[in-house]
Structure 1
């Protein structure tokens, strides 16, 4: 067990169509190292009661995370934010609004926006490079709502995970959105907020969902304080490489928090 002096508060933020459930392997590992862990279901995710059709913005979708940060008493020790996949967009918004409450933002093969383009820029670049047939059985609607299909999960996101984790994901997937239209009209993330918080990017070198090439492009485009690599990890590193991910996060804490 880590000493009380080393105890940190981690907030783990899931990606699109997922929920707090996807951290079930990582959470006990970090807790056994002496840390406090909060996992959030973003709006219309996991067991959150909202419907994605009723959400119109990244702010709507991020409300549970923003409420959690707002509830932390002023003067409390800063938190460690970890965002996976689309969760990087939630991290950018949260750090823009609450930079004084965040010690470091960790982008786990996550979308990494910059401060010199509209927030939608990184998503637009990602989507324009994906051929329509690559989505396989993912359900895509005209309103920007999507539900990741079982074949897509197995082929592109969970290819190194256990069959049990694939089945769990198939059972718990919920429709989500990238909110590209909203973000194309939103103001840029600020240097004073988002840009002032240390950022760490964790590369997953076997990620077929957000490819290595695109991960490296985002890092070059936005800039980070440190890059770490999870070897032999697919997109769902918290499930395929939970121990290795835990060890890297403890390294981040020792340096930034």
Structure 2
């Protein structure tokens, strides 16, 4: 027999217990049982009106059912509290209790497993979830992120795509790369706002951008509605990761196929800087997005999609 705790509310021995026993509130002891929601699954054809009938036989059946459900609910709630207090709580996906209705092998519900997971089980690491190789794409500072992943897990990555992104050499930081063009990019210098979480007498901890200049710097070819969304979502950039120098090897990082997508109307990372990174650290192939600003997913989404699909269809390098 299967008894659902979903629709049970009761007060017992100074405790108010609702639903799955998750709420405990002290009250004076009362004998009160209430039911909400669907009719009992034990009597599928019963109704709320039938429960209020004055027939002695029906009332007796109702009392027997109520007493049984109350006993099982109390037992479940007390067991829940016991495990909760002892730190051994482990919940299955099911929200019901399952009681065998006949002797024989125990049958498991579809949501059960042969062993319930414990909170003390070892956690699965992200790279363990990847069975086949993936294609990584990084934009702007994301180029440094995917470079780091390529160095750590080259066997899990088939291709890496740099979209107007920092494509660094070993021993270089993203800050090193951007400082190459900072002096010549007046708009970037004007838009930068340094933040000092540790005080003005300490080194800056993050960098923000002046919202009044962001449109001309990052979204000079993008639709107005996308710019509005972007301005709401933008957050300061922490400087610590930007200043970290990467250690990249030919055996790991160099074993992954790299592709670069140049954004031709980019005011944040000008074409000259993108070409410089390509020349110093040549990828397998370079693609050009005509008319794209620093955010091609806004300014040229269809063209970007076409290039990404084309790269995905290029045969992977056999290692």
Q: TM-score, normalised by structure 1?
A: 0.66
More helix by share: 1
2:297 equivalent in structure 1: 238
Q: 1:151 to 1:256 in 2, by over 3 A?
A: farther
Aligned-pair distance for 1:127? 3.8
Where does residue 195 of structure 1 map in the other structure?
254
2:151 is the counterpart of 1:96 = yes
1:159 aligns with: 220
2:314 counterpart SS class: helix
- In the alignment, structure 1 residue 250 sits paired with structure 2 residue 250: no
SS in 1 for 2:127: helix
CA 164–199 in structure 1, closer or farther in 2 if over 3 Å, else same: same
Report how far residue 122 of structure 1 moved. Answer: 2.3
Deviation of residue 71 (structure 1)?
A: 3.8
Contact 2:144 2:166 in 1 (8 A): yes
Per the TM alignment, residue 253 of structure 1 is displaced from its structure 2 partner at its CA by 0.7
**Aligned residue runs from structure 1 range 2-41, under 5 A:** none
Structure 1, residues 134-155: CA drift from partner, whole Å, max 9, x if none?
A: 3334321342411122223201
1:166 is displaced (CA, Å) by: 1.1
Change (3 A) 1:204 1:152: same
Residue 289 of structure 2 is aligned to residue 213 of structure 1:
no
- Aligned residue for 1:95, secondary structure, equals helix
- Give the conservation status (yes or no) of the 8 Å contact 1:79–1:103: yes
Quick check: 1:135 aligned with 2:189?
Answer: yes
Alpha carbons of structure 1 residues 181 and 90: separation in structure 2 relative to 1, 3 Å:
closer
* CA RMSD in angstroms, aligned pairs only: 2.2
Q: Any unmatched runs of 5+ in structure 2?
A: 1-123, 196-202
CA distance in 1, matches of 2:300, 2:246: 36
Select the structure of larger CA radius of gyration. 2
The separation in 1 between residues aligned to 2:294 and 2:192, in whole angstroms, is 16
Which residue does the alignment assign to 2:231? Answer: 170
Q: With CA pairs under 8 Å and 6+ residues apart, which has the higher RCO, 1 or 2?
A: 1
Q: Aligned pair in 2 of structure 1 residues 178, 109: CA closer, same or farther (>3 Å)?
A: farther
Counting matched residue pairs gives 185
TM-score (norm 2): 0.54
Contact 1:69 1:98 in 2 (8 A): no
Cα gap change, 1:94 to 1:109, in 2 (>3 Å)? same
